[in-house]
Structure 1
Amino acid sequence: MKKLDFAKGIFVLAAGFFLAAPVNAQVSDAELAKHPEFTSSNYLAYPEPANIRYTKAPAGYKPFYISHYGRHGSRYHHDSDEYKYLYKTLSKADSAGKLTEIGKQALAYAKVLATEAAPRKGDLTQVGVKQHEGIANRMHKNFGEIFKDWNVGGKKVTPHVKAYASTSGRCIVSMAAFIGELRSLNPKIKPELISGKSYMKFISAFDWGKLDYSKVKTYTDESDKLWQQVNPQPFLKKIFADSSYVAKNIEADKFYNRFFEIATSLQGMDKPLLDKIAQAAQVPADSFVNLFTTEEKIIRWKAQNAWWYSLEGTSPLINRPDGLNFAKPTLQNILEEADEAIAVDTAHSPAGSSSITPIAATLRFGHDATLLPLAALMQLPIANAKVSDLSKLHEQWNDFKIIPMAANLQMVFYKAKNKPVLVKILYNEIEQTLPVPCGITDERRETRDERTNLKVSQNCPAAPYYRWDDIRNFYSALLKN
């Protein structure tokens, strides 16, 4: 059985796969077996890229603005009651003499979590802080000229950085980590840090109380088939010494799923907590996620993956736009803020003059429940699959690629003298292709040769670069749908 080691390898393994394979590459059971950390779903620690070579911008073009949306970094499990549930359940079984030796280790582990982790439910960890520091560092390394002083009327002006965060503490701390890293690289940056309920409409519009749209029979019939393959009994036998006690006292599915989610979340925890677990349980902290066999991890993940897909993906079984609609305010804000940044840049061109501070970046720090539908709404290849057979969904659509911890979308804007503004989109710092046509805004159906000639005549850039006017027209039309 392939094991996860939180101290070594997990982040390297993830990054290696993400960089070696196209973003929409199929993922087989064999690939999942090589990388069992992927079955962590949205708990996967950010797959930090290394040695990426970006496509060179067309001649004469330089970056001048970035629009960004990032999920918060690694965090504690979101529910303190679930930490406590594990401890109470195991403690009760121990009092009845019904725990195996492994079960007693799990009890010690659960006690540490109930004491140390439960009070910090949902909080960002230092692992999460470092994830955002790393993303900010690479943003500055790759596009540092965006943050340099502008020459405005013979004076040097430091461009403005606007940063929004969800009212959730983990998002605010993620924003602070990101901005802190940028300022360590360029102390002159003067950020505007913004968080408040009135901004949640585009930072985090998803409503967890309105999920009925995702419970249609066409989906639940297929989803049930996946969940029915999840068998908690072999795992429970490792923990509990008496099957009759389990039958009478343990909600098997609930215990299995809570244990799994919390165990996979440990990859984002800080070393002091992992050390306390190891000391109390007398086994390494990663021993508990490795109580699940690789096959068990994969089977459960396939059902979990399908849940995310139905909730906010492009599932034809749901065949309703409700999930994607939650991201429309975010996309609208991206378009509006980009237009503002371009207008300010134009005002500062040699042909214009302005006292308004130029805008270097608009940063947004939110949640997976906004970023996932945003990627789908924008029809990014990583999130745009249409799959009716959920047993094969994993071959085309993977939640861990779209919403790992600290997942992020970056739109990098480029300008050149007397030429149209271009945009390149990065998802988790990897270049994306878009379904955006160049210069075609109507329903004309040209032949392939006609389309090619039209693109040449309009000086259409090669992917991953797209004209901003085309992107704005494409997504504006989509928002009106």
Structure 2
Amino acid sequence: MKIFKALLFCSTISTAALAQNCPDTFLGTKTLYPAPNQKYAPVPKGYEPVFINHVGRHGARHLTKEVKIAYAYQLLQKADSANALTKQGQLLKQMILRLEKVEGVDVKSISEEGRIELQDIARRMYAQNKNVFAKTANLNVGITKEIRTKQSADAFLSGLKEGIKDQPAINQYNDDTDLRFYDTAPAYKAFEQSGPWAPLMESLEKSEHIAEVNKALASRIFKPDFIAALSPKQLDKFTGDIFGFTTIVYSLKNEIVRAGFSVAELNFKSLFTCAELQHLSQVDVADDFYKKGPGMDVNGIQVRIAVPLLINFIKTTDEFIATGKYTAQLRFAHAETIAPYAALLGIDIANKATKDLSRINKDWQAAQVAPLSSNIQWILYKKANNPSYLVKVLLNEKEARIIGLQTSNYPYYKWSDLKAFYIKKLNGYGVNMNDDMNKYLKEIAQ
């Protein structure tokens, strides 16, 4: 009976109408940044914004590796040489060749869509916090080793400068310790390869019929004899690449037109059914959730690796209060930065751990937590002749509630309360504010 059901599912999925008008809810962390439409709570009487502490993901981007390096590209070339491509296979080959032309030399870079996203976020930041930039702005700008974070910083600053009267002073620096912590922690790298999440992901792939999805896609692209020589791992890798191409074109609409094509000529989405896209998305989102988000344990290593960034936020906020040196602290990083940091902060839509696979898209929506250009801001407020400060936390420019931290004036928290709350959390991890974060990342373990 199980075999019959599997065969029936595969038959249904391979003959179902291919995706044309199905929703783009499958994009997950590749979702374009949604401009907020929230009306902000009034600022408490007498208070004004005085400092902004910000970290953002790079903008919408190109692929991170050349098209011709992808396994799917190489497999299609091999199949074409063997006369093993179907009509849809030939269509896919042409789409990939077009994508290669679109990408050109821009691999690893942000796209025009990404520049617009970041400029708009900066414009809104200025409009909402004009008092912060009323005097000559002094900006401290952190980036990572990846060129797309430098490009993101430049795009953001270009939007911010439109509102600033005087040319701001800008100090730009590289900070992989605080912003690419996931890349410098050996124990986390081991967790990422094989952790307690593995059995859950294996179960999910079965319940989402990923093997059948892989076979269905292959049956549209390749002739039967060619498919027979491919292993399940190869089929899975092929599908993964095509799904990646499907999600990336949303970020490249301007570049596609500039290359002389229409968006319809790179419609990789049309190669899948709507159901297949949702099956693949479920697995993709769950992979992000367990490896970058709250996962099975909100205090697990995949969240605690963000400790260096939290300490940096606290220290730079205190530095402003003590010296007023920088008008704003701006950082540009990656999805792997935003998702664990949002969970570490205890933001209510970003910190719910679960082993229940059916809960992931209900409790943690990748498109809401870490879309392209996602960001977290602490806005610090001050009242004249009052020594205390208030702080508002924003996730993707929306007012955020911090689980476990009380306030009588949500979404505004007392800075002293917020700081004490996070220092207590750090102490619970055995971390001191003055610890060497490079050493911490080398030693951190489950």
What does residue 155 of structure 1 align with?
none
- Structure 2 length as normaliser, TM-score? 0.84
Given the alignment of the two structures, is residue 271 of structure 1 paired with residue 254 of structure 2, yes or no? yes
The 3-state SS of whatever aligns with 1:383 is coil
Farther off after superposition, 84-93 or 205-214:
205-214
Farther off after superposition, 329-338 or 290-299:
290-299
What does residue 384 of structure 1 align with?
351
Displacement of 1:383 after TM fit? 1.1
What does residue 127 of structure 1 align with?
113
Q: Deviations over 1:22-65 (max 9, x none)?
A: xxxxxxxxxxx6xx323212211111224x31000111111111
Given the alignment of the two structures, is residue 62 of structure 1 paired with residue 64 of structure 2, yes or no? no
Q: Deviations over 1:341-364 (max 9, x none)?
A: 11235xxxxxxxxxxxx5321100
5+ residue gaps, structure 1? 6-32, 150-157, 346-357, 439-459
- CA distance, structure 2, for counterparts of residue 211 and residue 388 of structure 1: 21
Paired residues of 2:182 and 2:189 also in contact (CA < 8 A): no
Given the alignment of the two structures, is residue 202 of structure 1 paired with residue 178 of structure 2, yes or no? yes
What does residue 182 of structure 1 align with?
160
- CA distance, structure 2, for counterparts of residue 83 and residue 3 of structure 1: 27
What does residue 236 of structure 1 align with?
218
Displacement of 1:400 after TM fit? 2.1
Amino acid at match of 2:301: D
Farther off after superposition, 177-186 or 243-252:
243-252
Alignment of 1:312-391 (within 5 A): 312-316=292-296, 321-345=300-324, 358-391=325-358
**Cα 1:71–1:96, aligned 2, differ >3 Å: closer, same or farther?**
same
- CA distance, structure 2, for counterparts of residue 425 and residue 101 of structure 1: 52
The 3-state SS of whatever aligns with 2:317 is helix
**Cα 1:402–1:285, aligned 2, differ >3 Å: closer, same or farther?**
farther
Alignment of 1:22-101 (within 5 A): 36-50=23-37, 52-80=38-66, 84-101=70-87
Number of aligned positions between the proteins: 403
Paired residues of 2:63 and 2:107 also in contact (CA < 8 A): yes
**Cα 1:191–1:105, aligned 2, differ >3 Å: closer, same or farther?**
farther
Paired residues of 1:211 and 1:311 also in contact (CA < 8 A): no
Displacement of 1:221 after TM fit? 1.7
- CA distance, structure 1, for counterparts of residue 39 and residue 76 of structure 2: 50
- CA distance, structure 1, for counterparts of residue 183 and residue 154 of structure 2: 26
5+ residue gaps, structure 2? 1-16, 430-446
Farther off after superposition, 100-109 or 376-385:
100-109
Amino acid at match of 1:332: I
Alignment of 1:286-305 (within 5 A): 287-305=267-285
- CA distance, structure 1, for counterparts of residue 20 and residue 254 of structure 2: 15
Amino acid at match of 1:72: H
Alignment of 1:441-452 (within 5 A): none
Paired residues of 1:86 and 1:259 also in contact (CA < 8 A): yes
Displacement of 1:81 after TM fit? 5.8
Displacement of 1:168 after TM fit? 1.1
Q: Deviations over 1:184-218 (max 9, x none)?
A: 2214141323133xx21112211276432256675
Q: Deviations over 1:326-350 (max 9, x none)?
A: 21111111101101111235xxxxx
- CA distance, structure 2, for counterparts of residue 217 and residue 331 of structure 1: 24
Paired residues of 1:436 and 1:471 also in contact (CA < 8 A): no
- CA distance, structure 2, for counterparts of residue 274 and residue 266 of structure 1: 11
The 3-state SS of whatever aligns with 2:64 is coil
Displacement of 1:103 after TM fit? 1.6
- Structure 1 length as normaliser, TM-score? 0.78
Paired residues of 1:82 and 1:258 also in contact (CA < 8 A): no
Displacement of 1:110 after TM fit? 1.0
Displacement of 1:411 after TM fit? 0.9
**Cα 1:217–1:373, aligned 2, differ >3 Å: closer, same or farther?**
closer
Q: Deviations over 1:162-191 (max 9, x none)?
A: 111112110001001111111122141413
Q: Deviations over 1:221-243 (max 9, x none)?
A: 22101112212122222222x12
Q: Alignment RMSD, CA only? A: 2.4
**Cα 1:65–1:2, aligned 2, differ >3 Å: closer, same or farther?**
farther
